[in-house]
Amino acid sequence: MKKDLTMNGKLIAVLLASVVAGCSTPNNGPADRGLASVNEPVLSRANFVVDLAAPGGTLAPQEVARLDGWFEGLQLGYGDSIYVDGAYSDAARVQVAEAAGRYGLMVLPAAPVTAGMVPQGTVRVVVSRTRAEVPGCPNWSRPSQPNFENRTMSDFGCATNSNMAAMVANPQDLFHGREGTGVGNSHTASKAVDYYRRAKPTGTQGLQDISTKKGE
């Protein structure tokens, strides 16, 4: 009986030691032990700046043409943010907004901080552009075998996330969702459902006659 108690005591001690060892594990292992990819898109932002002469707060016709040529050179498009800064920004904002409207964009308030002071009698137009890319891809830094820790391959997620970063119209949408405007359009919301309901079933035209022989 005494021997059985001693054996039970040793067994309990071993179990307690195992529990303590499990609780003292410093971390849960590498980050790529699950299904989430460690190769994620990273956003970078660049600001493009041009100073335009605006004596009295009005842009001369040649300055408006210069601004339009600058926009065209930047290939201004969806996803770009436009700001106007300077002492005469409120007066010249309408002219800048007209030029930006030809590219389907609007002038936003609260211009970002840029290098240098805005010269007297000028306005500064800022175009902020965000770019998304997955750094380090393709990533074949680690061989697939041996894999004793059951980790995902080092290149896991590179193709999908790189394609998504290249195709997204506005890279900022990858950072946070777009806020609602409070204005809803029922026709736009139901367009996909209405198209689905009016589409003819694919089986109404019968089966296609497909041949596996070359040239037929």
pLDDT category at 29 given cuts 50, 70, 90 is low
Amino acid 172: pLDDT: 86
pLDDT category at 131 given cuts 50, 70, 90 is very high
Do 97 and 106 touch, CB atoms closer than 8 A? yes
Using the predicted structure, report yes or no on whether residue 159 has a pLDDT greater than 90: yes
CATH of the domain at 90: 3.30.1330.60
Please indicate, yes or no, if residue 202 is contained in any of the structural domains. no
* Higher per-residue confidence, 213 vs 59: 59
Please indicate, yes or no, if residue 52 is contained in any of the structural domains. yes
Residue count of the chain: 216
pLDDT tens digits along 94-123 = 999 999 999 999 999 888 889 889 988 899
For the record, the structure tokens of 213 come out as 């022989």
Cis? peptide before 41, omega within 30° of 0: no
Taking CA atoms, 12 is separated from 16, 20, 22, 59, 90, in Å, by: 6, 12, 15, 85, 78
Looking at every residue in the chain, the average pLDDT score rounds to: 82
Do 134 and 43 touch, CB atoms closer than 8 A? no
pLDDT category at 15 given cuts 50, 70, 90 is very low
Please indicate, yes or no, if residue 63 is contained in any of the structural domains. yes
pLDDT category at 73 given cuts 50, 70, 90 is very high
Please indicate, yes or no, if residue 83 is contained in any of the structural domains. yes
Angstrom distance (rounded) from CA 154 to CA 137: 9
Amino acid identity, residue 99? A
Amino acid 181: pLDDT: 66
Number of domains the chain contains = 1
Which domain does 106 fall in, by range? 44-131
| CA neighbor of 67 nearest in space, from 117, 101, 113, 108 | 101
Using the predicted structure, report yes or no on whether residue 2 has a pLDDT greater than 80: no
Please indicate, yes or no, if residue 113 is contained in any of the structural domains. yes
Using the predicted structure, report yes or no on whether residue 210 has a pLDDT greater than 80: no
Q: Supply the pTM of this predicted model.
A: 0.63
Using the predicted structure, report yes or no on whether residue 19 has a pLDDT greater than 80: no
Residues 160, 163, 166, 167: is their CA dihedral positive or negative?
negative
Angstrom distance (rounded) from CA 31 to CA 152: 9
Phi, psi of 107 (to 5 degrees): -85, 130
